């Protein structure tokens, strides 16, 4: 079963707009990660945020983590057509192995 679930399932925006994706999970975690996948290829690691962290930035990406609500969000600012992809969150359960369990993903389309 999926530990993390992304919302929305699909998102369509115009270039230059911001895109926000959310992830909710069920049990306490060690880490939460976000990945991007272009069109059936391999996943690309974007950001890892640890359970004791609240926010991380990487370029145009901002990830927040709220462990009290068991949720995370990924914000992509000033979106580009090249950001079109599926975005997945992955969590590993506290007290378990560090194997990440992936959600179903959010499909993002950025129109030029």
Partner 1 sequence: KAGVTQTPRYLIKTRGQQVTLSCSPISGHRSVSWYQQTPGQGLQFLFEYFSETQRNKGNFPGRFSGRQFSNSRSEMNVSTLELGDSALYLCASSLSDGYGYTFGSGTRLTVV
Contact residues: partner 1, CB under 8 A = 2, 30-31, 33, 35, 40-45, 48, 50, 88, 92, 97-105
Burial 83-98 (b: 16+ CB within 10 A, else e): bbbbbbbbbbbeeeee
| DSSP letter, residue 83 | G
- DSSP lists the bridge partners of residue 58 as 61
Q: Identify which of residues 83 and 103 has a Cβ nearer to partner 1 in the complex.
A: 103
Give the nearer residue to partner 1 in terms of CB position, either 19 or 43: 43
CB closer to partner 1 out of 64 and 101: 101
């Amino acid at each position: 079963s999926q530990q993390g679930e992304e919302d929305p399932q699909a998102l369509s925006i115009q270039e230059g707009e911001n895109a926000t994706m959310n992830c909710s999970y069920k049990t306490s975690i060690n880490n939460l990660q976000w990945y991007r996948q272009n069109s059936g290829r391999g996943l690309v690691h974007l950001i890892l945020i640890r359970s004791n962290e609240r926010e991380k930035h990487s370029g145009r990406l901002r990830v927040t983590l709220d462990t009290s609500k068991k949720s995370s969000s990924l914000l992509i600012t000033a979106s580009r057509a090249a950001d079109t992809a599926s975005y997945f969150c992955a969590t590993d359960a506290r007290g378990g192995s560090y194997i990440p369990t992936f959600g179903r993903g959010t499909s993002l389309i950025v129109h030029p």
